Amino acid sequence: MEMPIMVILCLYLCLPVPPANGDDMPSAYQVLQSYNLPIGLLPKGALGYNLDPNSGRFAVNLSSNCDVHVGDYKIKYDPIITGVISKNNLRRLGGVKVKIALFWIDIENVNRNQDHLAFKMGNVANKEFPTSDFKSCPKCY
């Protein structure tokens, strides 16, 4: 008789708990924060996302192409951004490019180290920024 109670208790404890705000799932920005990444890595207006919590693979949907300025850099987002997310890290990014000189270079990896973000841009460059530069979402123009 004890075994069914244990199975029921285990199933109950394993059920996902809905967010307190009543929404079906957290926003893409809340997901970034849950992995200790700033929301400003995504532009304003993310429509939705898919995330496999086991592998960390994700896809974020924007309404269209999006160009933004972050500091002295011009960044271009495709309508679908893909990659793998883990604590303090976005890797194998697809759909995000930065303009360096006359060329558009893929941003492949973003890694947080305390209050800094390190960006790996193709085999061309690595650049570090303070996380405070990404505390708010840039607006597409």
Q: Using alpha carbons only, give the angle 77, 51, 104 rounded to the nearest 5 degrees.
A: 20
Residue 122 forms part of a structural domain = yes
In a domain, 83, yes or no: yes
User: What integer pLDDT is reported at residue 17 of this predicted model?
Assistant: 35
Instruction: Compute CA distances 42 → 23, 34, 95, whole Å.
Output: 20, 14, 12
SS3 at position 132: helix
Residue 53 domain-assigned (yes or no): yes
The answer to whether position 3 is within a domain reads no
Tell whether 102 is covered by a domain. Answer: yes
In a domain, 16, yes or no: no
Distance CA 73, CA 35 (A): 25
Q: What is the number of structural domains in the chain?
A: 1
140 part of a folded domain? no
Find the domain containing 45 and state its range. 23-134
Q: In this structure, what CATH number is given to the domain that contains residue 54? A: 2.30.240
User: Tens-digit pLDDT profile for the chain (141 aa)?
Assistant: 443 333 333 333 333 333 333 457 899 999 999 999 999 999 998 999 999 999 999 999 999 999 998 888 899 999 999 999 999 999 999 999 999 889 999 999 999 999 999 999 988 889 999 999 999 999 998
